[in-house]
Structure 1
Amino acid sequence: MVKSLLNAVNNMFSHEDLGRLLLRLLVGGLMLFHGLHKLIGGIDGIAGMLVSKGLPGFIAYGVLIGEVLCPILIILGVLTRPSALVLAFTMVVAWLLVGIGKTGTLDATGAWAIESIVYFFIAALVIAFIGAGRYSVAPAWK
C-alpha cells in the first residue's frame, strides 16, 4: 500500500524539465527585481563601494549584466549555463562588497545575514549544472 502510494507520487512529480523551468523562473525572476531596482535607481551606490575598495567605479555597470541580462536569459532558457555562471560570479562580488562582514551573523529576524546571496549563488550553480531543460526559447543554446 505505502509502496504503491510512493510510486504514484514519484510518477506524478517526475517531470525534470518542468522542475528546471520552475527553478529558472524563480531564480531569474527574483534576481530580475534586484536588477530592475538598479536599472531604475542607478548604480551609484555600487560604484561608490567599488571606489572605496580602490576599484574603478565603471565596473559597477557589470551588475546590470549579472542582475538584468543574465536573469532574462535564464528565464528564457537562452545561453542558460553561461548566464547562470555569470549570476553566480555576481553573487560572489556582492558577498565581497556587502556580505563578507556579515557572513557569521544573523539579521533582525534570525535569518542568516547573507542568506539571499548564498541562495542565488547556489541556485545559479544548480542551473549551470542541470541546464535549461526542454522548456526553453532556444533549446539548442541552453
Structure 2
Amino acid sequence: MIDQRTAPYAALILRVSLGILFLAHFSLKFFIFTPTGTAGFFSSLGLPGWLAYITMIIEFFGGIALILGIYTRVVSLVLIPILLGAIVKVHGPAGFFFTNPNGGWEFPMFWVIALISLALMGDGKYALKPSATVKN
C-alpha cells in the first residue's frame, strides 16, 4: 500500500537527489576534465567527440530540471540513454562492482532504475512545472 501522504515527498527527495547527481557529473566533466578533455575521452572510446558536449548539456539542464521539477517524467526518460551509454562504453567492461578499476556498472544501473521509478512516480511535491498525469 502506498502512503499517499508521504509518497509526494519521497518523489521530491528522489528528484532532487538525482538532479544533484547529474549536476555533479556535469561539473566533473566541465571543471575537472574540461570540455576538451571530456571530448577527447569520448573519442578514445570510439564515440564522436562532439557527443561529450551534448552529454554535458543534457546533464546540466536535466539536473536543473529535476531539481526544480520541470517535466520530471520526460526529463527522467531523456537522461537514461546517457547512463546506458556510460554502462556500455565505460563501466560495463569493468564488471559489476563500482569499486573495480574504471568503476563497474552497478551504480549507473541503479541510477537508471531510479530514473525509471521517478518517471513512473511523477514529480512529487514542489514541482514548478508538473508533468501530465494519467487519470484513471
> TM-score range, shorter-chain basis?
0.7 to 0.9
Deviation digits for residues 86-110 of structure 1, max 9, x if unmatched? 22111011112211211345626xx
Deviation digits for residues 26-63 of structure 1, max 9, x if unmatched? 11112211112222231334322332344321111122
Q: Are 2:35 and 1:43 equivalent residues in the alignment?
A: yes
Q: What's the C-alpha RMSD, in Å, of the aligned pairs? A: 2.7
How many residue pairs align between the two structures?
Answer: 130
**Higher Cα radius of gyration:** 1
Name the aligned partner's letter for residue 56 of structure 1: P
Give 1:7's aligned residue. none
Q: Higher helix share goes to which structure?
A: 1
Equivalent of 2:6 in 15, 18, 26? 15
Change (3 A) 1:104 1:120: closer
Checking the alignment, whether the CA contact within 8 Å between 2:70 and 2:128 is kept in structure 1 is yes
Q: Are 2:104 and 1:81 equivalent residues in the alignment?
A: no
Q: What is the TM-score normalised by the length of structure 1?
A: 0.76
Identity of aligned residues (%): 30
Gaps of 5+ in 2: none
Change (3 A) 1:56 1:126: same
Checking the alignment, whether the CA contact within 8 Å between 1:80 and 1:141 is kept in structure 2 is no
Q: What is the TM-score normalised by the length of structure 2?
A: 0.79
Gaps of 5+ in 1: 1-9
